[in-house]
Amino acid sequence: MNDRDWARSAREGDEEAFAQLVRRHSGGLHRAVARVLADDSEAWDVVQMAFLKAWQRLDRYDPRYSFSTWIYRIGTNLAIDLLRSRSSRERTHKAGTEHRLRLVGAGEGAGSRAEGHEADRILNQVIEVLTPQQRSAFVLREMQGLETAEVAEVLGCSATTVRNHIFQARKALRREMRRRFPEYAPASERG
């Protein structure tokens, strides 16, 4: 069975079918929401809330569209609401130690895996410079691998707006990374 079949059964009241959808999509949604919020445990609360909301609104789900996009939309909107409701003090994420070890000589695969973890650690420290919309667009497109049209569907805006959010996000992240992590300054400036 695919997502649409599970969703159809769930809409008829089949809880187990809905549980299958939760099993299939909660991991990816959690990863996205955790990156947007820069908070791993709070993200699980948002994910649960998103699925509960989806269950209550299954009659509004249009099976012509992907269930994944629909649940990402609900989860991302909840995360954006949460970000907006946080006070500026709470929003300032507890920045850990700001250092980066240049990964050299660890082998191709090992290097990219280690950089994958490094990416999340650094993101948590610099994402605060982005607006909620920029965070969501950047995380979904650049880190979760959604297509621009899907991100536009999730955020309820045009593809052009998504590209603009990502362009601004990249610019802000580039500046912030170079400011806080000298290792990421251009080689010509590192001397």
Partner 1 sequence: MNCNVFREMLDPYIEDSLEEERRRWFRGHLRECSSCRDWALDRDPSLLFAVADAAPADPAPAEACAAAVSAQIRQQRLSKRLHHRRRPWLAAAAAAVVAVSGGLAWRTILGDGGSPGRPEIEAQNESDTATSPPTIEVEMAGDDVRVYQFAADGDDDTAVYFVVNPAMEL
Give the separation between CA 175 and CA 163, rounded to whole angstroms: 18
Of 60-68, 69-77, 89-97, 106-114, the segment contacting partner 1 by CB under 8 A is 106-114
Residue of 84, 116, 156, 158 that binds partner 1 (CB under 8 A): 116
> What residue spans of the chain are helical by DSSP H?
3-11, 15-37, 40-56, 67-85, 88-91, 108-126, 132-138, 148-155, 159-180, 187-190
Give the separation between CA 25 and CA 69, rounded to whole angstroms: 10
Of 65-73, 82-90, 91-99, 134-142, the segment contacting partner 1 by CB under 8 A is 134-142
108 touches partner 1 by CB under 8 A: yes
Q: Residue 95 — φ and ψ, nearest 5°?
A: -75, 125
CB 100 within 8 A of CB 184: yes
92 touches partner 1 by CB under 8 A: no
Nearer to partner 1, 89 or 100 (CB): 100
1 touches partner 1 by CB under 8 A: no
Give the separation between CA 69 and CA 60, rounded to whole angstroms: 14
Tokens 């509004």 sit at which residue? 60
Give the separation between CA 62 and CA 64, rounded to whole angstroms: 5
Of 1-9, 52-60, 73-81, 83-91, the segment contacting partner 1 by CB under 8 A is 52-60
Give the separation between CA 42 and CA 62, rounded to whole angstroms: 29
Least distance (Å) between residue 78 CB and partner 1: 14
Nearer to partner 1, 14 or 86 (CB): 14
Least distance (Å) between residue 148 CB and partner 1: 6
Please report, as ranges, the residues that interact with partner 1 according to CB under 8 A.
15, 18-20, 22-24, 26-28, 30-31, 35, 44, 47-48, 51-52, 55-56, 103, 108-109, 111-113, 115-120, 122-123, 138, 141-145, 147-148, 163, 166-167, 169-170, 173-174, 177-178, 181, 184, 186-187
